[in-house]
Amino acid sequence: MPKTVVMPRPIATDARADLATTLDRVASGHVRTISRCISEIENATARASELVAALDPRAGSALVIGVTGVPGGGKSTLVPELARRMARDDRRSAILAVDPSSPLSGGAILGDRIRASEPAGSGLFFRSVASRGSLGGLSRTLDDVVTLLDAAGYGAIVIETVGTGQSEIAVTRLAHTTLLVTAPGLGDEIQAMKAGILETADIIVVNKADSDPRGAVATAETLRNALSFSMRAHGLVEGANPATADRPASWHAPVRVVSALKGDGLEELVGVITAHRDFLAATQGFGEWRRRRRLARFREALRDALAARASADHEGLLRQAEDEVVAGASTPVGAATRIAETLIKNDESAPGRYPSAVVSGIETTDQGAPQ
Ligand SMILES: Nc1nc2c(ncn2[C@@H]2O[C@H](COP(=O)(O)OP(=O)(O)O)[C@@H](O)[C@H]2O)c(=O)[nH]1
Ligand SMILES: [Mg+2]
């Protein structure tokens, strides 16, 4: 019998067929495929970028809700309750928790809570997303995961932060509607006011009304007063204010008292989220959000691409610039700018070569810069 030589199939065709299958599965809401794609996005594989690029045109109809607030307020308890109420027959809800297993998050792990409480087949998708260090890493990952889930047909995507600055910023940027969750006795409302966090929230939730009803009402009153000073002076109300002859339409964060545990006030809270969505729709807020998000993603991707190119092709130049920056011979920003310029010039003229004149240019131009 002749020996059969097994020729490897052309990788490109294979990969494309595989990509097409994956895309179909994602579009049809195949949960395991979606989960696997999220892992690829987290690990920033080359295929992940292709996937997200291919899914991008199919995304754009999900409502993204960010849930922020200090640990202990009840975010993890509230999020599945909200997600469940936001789901419609044909539009399931997805929950993303930012790195809930990290020591930063503390407290209970959201995933365990849902797995324990969610009946099989309820259609709620849950996934935690690892932040892997930098803020850039987290916002990139979240952005792509939201595109994936959106394209997969989830109508509402609820993201819980871990209550740290980094994840709050990343999530607030991504979310159409940001909820700030607090509870009586946490004492964080004053801090939230000082840090300007209140202003970034579209809806304020005072949770745990069941265990301390009077405290919850008092906390809500404190927050309302802090928020509504100028609002009342101008005769505006909580929620949506239509445009008038001398004022554009505006939204003022409503404060709602709820019990995530008992379910009190949650239908009303969903009503406020829906009202905010309608406000965004009526004021071109979705278009503006989409524009900002796409531009931010583009700028990040550009930075990534340049940085990847620099470290892959221009290692020596980078090292030298780093040494100069550390030694104080170049300013960090000055050296980075010149490296970028060098890369571009170099690509245009003689790819792969780095004229030493350019490098010594970095050395000399920044002499005397503040150290
Ligand atoms: N009494 C009461 N306890 C709550 C409520 N919501 C959450 N909790 C409890 O508060 C603690 C922190 O809740 P968790 O959802 O983990 O808060 P997170 O850190 O913001 O995610 C847990 O022990 C919850 O059971 C509520 O509405 N009422
Ligand atoms: Mg939590």
User: What is the average per-residue pLDDT within 220-235?
Assistant: 82
User: For the chain, what is the radius of gyration of the CA atoms?
Assistant: 25
Domains of the chain with bracketed CATH? 19-283 (3.40.50.300), 298-365 (no CATH)
Instruction: Answer yes or no: are the C-beta atoms of 76 and 113 closer than 8 Å.
Output: yes
Give me ligand 1 centre to Cα 108, in Å.
9
The alpha carbon of residue 286 and the mean position of all alpha carbons in its chain are separated, in whole angstroms, by 16
- CA 85 – ligand 2 centroid, Å: 19
pLDDT band of 153, cuts 50, 70, 90: very high
What separation in Å is there between the alpha carbon of 104 and the centre of ligand 2? 10
The ligand placed nearest to the CA atom of residue 74 is 1
Which of 113-122, 212-221, 271-280, 291-300 has the weakest average pLDDT? 113-122
The model's confidence at residue 111, banded by pLDDT at 50, 70 and 90, is low
What whole-number percentage of the chain has pLDDT above 90? Answer: 44
Tokens representing 188 are 């964080």
Q: Which residues line ligand 1 (CB under 6 A)?
A: 69, 71-77, 107-108, 207-208, 210-211, 259-261
Q: Is the pLDDT higher at 199 or at 351?
A: 199
The per-residue pLDDT for 45 is 85
- Give the pLDDT confidence score for residue 132 in this predicted structure: 55
Q: Which residues face 250 on adjacent strands?
A: 241
Q: How far is the CA of 109 from the centre of ligand 2 (A)?
A: 7
Query: Which atom of ligand 1 is nearest to 108's Cα?
Result: 16
Q: Which residues contact 205 (CB under 8 A, 6 or more apart)?
A: 69, 78, 179, 180, 181, 182, 255, 256, 258, 269
Q: Kindly list the protein residues that place their beta carbon closer than 5 angstroms to ligand 2, a single-atom ion.
A: 75-76
The answer on pLDDT for 236 being more than 50 is yes
State the distance from the centre of ligand 2 to the C-alpha of 288, rounded, in angstroms: 30
What local confidence, expressed as pLDDT, does residue 332 receive? 93
Is residue 266's pLDDT more than 80? yes
- Atom 8 of ligand 1, nearest CA residue: 74
**Closest ligand to the CA of 209:** 1
Q: Across the chain, what does the average pLDDT equal?
A: 81
- State the pLDDT confidence band at 133, using cuts at 50, 70 and 90: very low
In angstroms, the CA 336 to CA 296 distance is: 20
The Cα–Cα gap between 249 and 246 comes to 10
pLDDT reported for residue 57: 92
User: Residue 179: its pLDDT value, please?
Assistant: 96
Probe residue for ligand 1, chosen from 67, 70, 75, 77 as the CB with the greatest number of ligand atoms within 8 Å: 77
Atom of ligand 1 minimally distant from the CA of 211? 1
Atom of ligand 1 nearest to the CA of 160: 21
Q: What is the pLDDT of residues 51-90, one digit of tens each?
A: 999 999 999 999 999 999 888 899 999 999 999 999 987 7
Which amino acid residue places its CA nearest to atom 3 of ligand 1? 208
pLDDT for position 37: 93
Q: Residue 207 Cα, ligand 1 centroid: separation in angstroms?
A: 8
- Per-residue pLDDT tens over the stretch 1-15: 455 555 555 555 667
Checking if the pLDDT of 312 tops 50, the result is yes
Mean pLDDT of 324-345: 89
| More confidently predicted of 224 and 3 | 224
Please give the model's pTM, rounded to 2 decimal places.
Answer: 0.81
Q: Ligand 1: which residue has its CA nearest to atom 10?
A: 74
Which residues 6+ apart lie within 8 Å of 58 measured at CB?
A: 27, 150, 151
Ligand closest to 260 (CA) is: 1
SS3 annotation, the chain: CCCCCCCCCCHHHHHHHHHHHHHHHHHCCCHHHHHHHHHHHHCCCHHHHHHHHHHHHHCCCCEEEEEECCCCCCHHHHHHHHHHHHCCCCCCEEEEEECCCCCCCCCCCHHHHHHHHCCCCCCCEEEEECCCCCHHHHHHHHHHHHHHHHHCCCCEEEEECCCCHHHHHHHHHHCCEEEEEECCCCCHHHHHHHCCHHHHCCEEEECCCCCCHHHHHHHHHHHHHHHHHHHHHCCCCCEEECCECCECCEEECCEEECECCCCECHHHHHHHHHHHHHHHHHCCHHHHHHHHHHHHHHHHHHHHHHHHHHHHHCHHHHHHHHHHHHHCCCCHHHHHHHHHHHHHHHHHHCCCCCCHHHHHHHHHHCCCCCC
Note the pLDDT of residue 225.
85
Check residue 356 and give its pLDDT.
Answer: 45
177 pLDDT exceeds 90? Answer: yes
pLDDT higher for 46 or 269? Answer: 269
Looking at residue 78, its pLDDT comes to: 96
Q: What is the CA(107)–ligand 1 centre distance, in A?
A: 9
Of 100-114, 179-193, 203-217, the range with the lowest mean pLDDT is 100-114
Residue 33 pLDDT more than 80? Answer: yes
